[in-house]
Amino acid sequence: MSKTENKKTSILIIYTGGTIGMVQSLQTGTLAPVKFDKILDEVPELNKFNFNIKTIIFNPVLDSSNVGPSEWVKIARAIEKNYNSFDGFVILHGTDTMAYTASALSFIFENLDKPIILTGSQLPIGTLRTDGKENLITSLEIAAAKKNGKSMVPEVCIYFEFKLFRGNRTVKRDADQFSAFHSVNYPTLAVAGVDIRYSPEYIYYPENKGILKVNTNFDDNVVILKIFPGINEKVFKSILNTPGLKGVVLETFGSGNVPTSRWLLNCIKRAIKKNIVILNITQCEGGRVAMGQYETSLELLSIGVVSGKDMTSEAAIAKLMFLLGQDMSVDEIKMYLNKSLQGEISE
Ligand code: ASP
């Protein structure tokens, strides 16, 4: 047997926090994160894996409402530092902002050729009916899975409730159901039943891999602005006039439509003149922005609003922050917003 064949699979778990590792406070009844050793005690099954599992634990562990760009970078740095020593990475993370973190990580890593699987749970791992055990165990299997010596899923993914999704296509859809996530505009990458069935036709396997690049600059001078019937002129204007604002994810109706009020379109026009990037994303769960299909989106197209096509809002805001953080002109940013960087958009 050659040396490489002999080598035991190694997986790095990065525990950031989330319900999976929370316990209920006896005093207040609220859920708060606990130490990782407690989690391992709850899952003795992990000892049955025939691979090396190491863990890095965030200090402090976080509810994912407190995870943002600096934590995305912290996760990315931990992976970068350990990239060559492990076959795959599992990130335990709260579900609330998991789709944002997964999107951000997908943009951070260029030339990724190992799996980064985010998972968590709706019920703490110490509770009887927890979904955390299955999510963790199957995520580890997926992170370790190889075919002909290469990772089965060399992507940033979310695994939850028997399904593996491309991370930057995923949205948290339910606060109570075990199936907390879905990916409406892109098929699942694998389904776990008796076997884990992968769909290689939907998994990204780049032909010529360069070396791993880790781009960690994000610019947070951005906002997600959801259009609604009766939106107020003063409020809308004041948001677009925020000093230092560089980018807006405009969540519009249907296929990218907004009210045709003159004040609204003029306001957007002025923002674009000031080099603020406006990215049009649909409020619908599925489908895509098609500016010009209706009169109510035609002018957006002509004044220079960028189409986010079928991107999720989570991917869109992470991508906008990422591109604004790179050393690029506004025209370049607009060009890349419209194109797939990491499979987040259908061109
Ligand atoms: N509030 C928790 C978090 O996002 C929810 C969860 O993990 O499911 O950290």
Interval 239-290: pLDDT, tens? 999 999 999 999 999 999 999 999 999 999 999 999 999 999 999 999 999 9
Catalytic residue among 19, 95, 101, 119: 19
Ligand 1 center to 60 CA (angstroms): 15
Three-state DSSP class for residue 139:
helix
How confident is the model at residue 81, as a pLDDT? Answer: 98
* CB of 130 closer than 6 angstroms to any ligand 1 atom: no
Class level of CATH domain 222-337: alpha beta
* CB of 124 closer than 6 angstroms to any ligand 1 atom: no
pLDDT band for position 43 (50/70/90)? confident
Q: What is the mean pLDDT of residues 94-107?
A: 98
Ligand 1 center to 96 CA (angstroms): 5
pLDDT of 6 higher than 60: no
Ligand 1 center to 159 CA (angstroms): 15
Interval 179-217: pLDDT, tens? 999 999 999 999 999 999 999 999 999 777 789 999 999
Q: What is the mean pLDDT of residues 295-321?
A: 96
pLDDT of 13 higher than 70: yes
Q: What is the mean pLDDT of residues 10-27?
A: 88
Contacts of 328 (CB under 8 A, 6+ apart): 336
Cα separation, 258 vs 218, whole angstroms: 28
* CB of 120 closer than 6 angstroms to any ligand 1 atom: yes
* CB of 63 closer than 6 angstroms to any ligand 1 atom: yes
Give the other-Cβ count within 10 Å of 141's Cβ.
19
Interval 309-324: pLDDT, tens? 999 999 999 999 999 9
Among the residues of 124-261, which ranges form H helices? 132-144, 233-240
pLDDT band for position 106 (50/70/90)? very high
Ligand 1 center to 314 CA (angstroms): 16
* CB of 247 closer than 6 angstroms to any ligand 1 atom: no
| Residue 120 contacts residue 135 (beta carbons within 8 Å) | yes
Share of the chain above pLDDT 90, in %: 82
Element (H, E) at 264: helix 262-273
pLDDT of 30 higher than 90: no
Amino acid at 30: T
Q: 3-214: what fold?
A: Rossmann fold (3.40.50)
Q: Is the pTM of this model over 0.75?
A: yes
* CB of 101 closer than 6 angstroms to any ligand 1 atom: no
Which atom of ligand 1 is least distant from the CA of 180?
8
Asked about 19 being catalytic, the answer comes back as: yes
| Residue 22 contacts residue 32 (beta carbons within 8 Å) | yes
CA-to-CA separations, 222 to 108, 114, 151, 280, 322, in angstroms, rounded: 18, 31, 35, 14, 11
Domain boundaries, the chain: 3-214, 222-337
Which atom of ligand 1 is least distant from the CA of 62?
9
One fold for 3-214 and 222-337: yes
Ligand 1 center to 249 CA (angstroms): 24
Interval 126-152: pLDDT, tens? 888 999 999 999 999 999 999 999 999
Cα separation, 287 vs 19, whole angstroms: 31
